[in-house]
Structure 1
Amino acid sequence: MADKNSEEFYTRLKEQLLDSSSWPSNYLYKFIVLSDEEKIKQIHRIFDNTGAVIESKKSKKGKYTSVSITVNLENPDQVIQKYKEVGAIEGVISL
């Protein structure tokens, strides 16, 4: 599997998004992060003022939090831009 930070991964993702959706479109992001309030707030800030619906759910033991974000975006480039912004936060796993 390609590294999520590689341009190859993003090029393939863009092609898939162009093929599978008409734009603008809703896109669902899913991230897993250690249950660290500051990291979760950083993710929220990336999607501030986008009209995103954000749901957070802690794991059974509370060590991890899954963050699901549904947001309407104009094009695949915006989808990829948000992945890159969230990817800059240490310890966040993109699903």
Structure 2
Amino acid sequence: MANIIENEDHKSPEDFYISLKEKLEATHNFPEDYQFKFIVLNEEKKITEIYRVFDDMKFTLTTRDSKNAKYTSLSIMAFVLDAEHVISVYKKVGEIEGVMSL
């Protein structure tokens, strides 16, 4: 996610998250179920690291491997309290090397 943040209109990560919070609050009625989507190399270790971010949350998971099975997409529907909660999840997952947040 870091690359996306850095390239988005040359915004700093802080500016990106401020903008994201405003958009989330304008388009969602928290608390609610929120869908997170990630793409990661199809490595059990990486996928497990993502799951750990959601350990204390109620969530459902859907996975799908790419055509050549090199990548896995994860769709995680999790109950979040507010926009800050969503951003917190994205920041934690963003610390995992090789994960693309959608």
TM bucket (normalised to shorter chain) is over 0.9
Deviation of 1:85 (Å)? 0.4
Deviation string for 1:55-89 (max 9, x for gaps)?
A: 11110100000011111111000000000000000
Match of 1:60 in 2: 67
> Aligned partners of 1:2, 1:71: CA distance in 2, in Å?
23
Q: Secondary structure at the match of 1:90?
A: coil
- Using the aligned pairs only, state the percent identity: 43
Which structure has greater helix proportion? 2
Gaps of 5+ in 2: none
Which of the numbers 45, 51, 54 marks the counterpart of 2:58?
Answer: 51
Aligned pairs (5 A) from 1:67-78? 67-78=74-85
Deviation of 1:92 (Å)? 0.2
Displaced runs of 4 or more, over 6 A: none
Structure-2-length-normalised TM-score:
0.87
Deviation of 1:2 (Å)? 4.0
How many matched pairs? 95
Over the aligned positions, Cα root-mean-square deviation in angstroms equals 1.6
Amino acid at match of 2:76: I
Gaps of 5+ in 1: none
Q: Secondary structure at the match of 1:14?
A: helix
Match of 1:31 in 2: 38
